[in-house]
Structure 1
Amino acid sequence: MHTSMWSNPKVRFGVVVVGFFVFLAVLGPWLTDTVLGMDPRANDTSAIASPPSAEHWLGTTQFGQDVLAQLIAGARGSMFVGVLAALIGTALAIAFGVTAGYFGGTVDHVLNFVTNLFMVMPVLPLIFIVSGYLRGTGLAMIAVIIGVFGWAGGARTLRAQTLSVRNRDFVLGMRMLGESQPRLIAVEVLPHLTGWIASMFLGAMIGAILAEAGLAFLGISDSGSISWGSMIQAAQSQSAVMRGLWWWFVPPGLCIALIGTAAAMINFGVDELANPKLRAATRRVVRRTRRVERAVAAEGGAA
């Protein structure tokens, strides 16, 4: 990662948190089996709905399942849905938005019509309907559904940015030299959209994690898979809130909130580095805050 970007505390915080959850998603089975020695689906009848303890660090569920083991296993399910849905949605947004913005004319009209059609669709109800119809097909299908219905907003943004980039001198110059259209898009246009694409991917990933959690909470998900959403749904169905079993639903909720905050921090940090006006405004705010702090300290010392 670029040094100036890594020096931004927001980016550091976001990357560390997202990297931690990616680590859990990749090595989750090894952690639960080897390190914890617990199966997320195993039932410990001697510890039913027990609070956090030395044996079960985050307590157990109503069924005697270890919450920590389920939390680690759920990281893989939720991150899988988030990353796959974001990849599909971002790829469709690039295909429709960049192509429409670069070629213009009839291609733009046709692709923009399809984009607008998806924009006006009630996305969340459609996801619920399709997911309910394909119930029990697994997290991969849930991710595909979320990705297919969630790309239109990003495509509109990329189209607008591509319309600006395609008319710049370096693109026009390469076009006059006879460069092929695919190479112009891949080498000259897309590199100037990487900030937007990265921001779009992170937003899509968080949106997909939240959408999967919402589907699981409503019972429209794969009951055989473990995710943070399915943990919250199981806690809700067993009245964990009413019974005070906070250790069952609070950890997955905190994980979702934490990864959402981390992605937002990365976006804010990248925006500050990519946007000179925003970076200058941030420095002005910092300087003004320091002046106020020094003035308050001086007044306190005089008193």
Structure 2
Amino acid sequence: MNTPLPQSPGGASLLDAAMRSFAPQLPLAVAFSGGADSTALLLACAQRWPGQVVAVHVHHGLQSAADAFALQCEQLCARLAVPLKVCHVDARHAPGQSPEDAARQHRYAALTAAVSQPWPALEQPVRSLALAQHADDQAETLLLALSRGAGVAGLAAMPARWSRAGLEWHRPLLAVPGQALRDWLAVRGQDWIEDPTNADARYTRNRIRAQLLPALQQVFPQFRATFARSSRHCAEAAELLQELAESDLAQVGSPPQIASLQQLSRSRQANMLRHWLRSVHATTPSTAQLDQLLAQISACRTRGHRIQLKMGSGFVRRQGAVLDWYN
């Protein structure tokens, strides 16, 4: 059953518009941290699909307030009659891994495991999972990608929808600014958790949020919408490059035949080699590493020409007429 959402004044109506265009397969799970973003998403989903929504809270155990966060989530879910699972994870990062990346990986693994288990309150398995990233998060992701010199795949930022582990994953709020979500909650008198780490200037995302986004808002008031449009264009370009890479790899072979590879333009060689290394060997070369490999492929005109270069987490070397990869 779909329950109409009431209109909210001002920017808060953006959430209502986003929810009206959100059509997940039900039942639906919501990743619920207790922050403003996920609180707004959970309330809106529970109101629209009563009895068809569940929630998952990931307890990272990284700060002393984590138990209090979980308790507040439990209390709100009880009031909404939304079943909740609290998943405890060890989100400490490995040497050389960023804390944000470690927490993200643990969080996604916990969400997948939680929604894949039976939910006694539901008559059928969860089919969709919704995440609360919004327009500010999308802008931050694009700016981070630009700072790293990312290609079109990175500049595509976060997808609004994808499939993984037998689930449909959704980000229905990517067109909604963070302040609009807080406005929507304020209209309803609903509080939320303010995670103190969100103000920690050691994290690049927090510095972007506190310093860069306000400046962009002042100079380019529509930057969220225009950034999102650019990301969509990049996503379309990345899809075309993926299709071309798959076609070229089918022609060149796997492992790639050097002579066939040399018939492609340098750009198509680079595109195909990235795809081969990523899809077949689960590794991604740096731009400098790939440039070295392309130079060696161009110079490879004799039987005795040797190729052995560091590439991602392993090495690419010449084996007769083909390129091989090992670690």
TM-score under structure 2 length normalisation:
0.24
TM-score under structure 1 length normalisation:
0.26
- The structure whose residues are more often helix, as a share, is 1
- The structure whose residues are more often strand, as a share, is 2
If asked which structure has higher relative contact order (CA below 8 Å, sep 6+), I would say 1
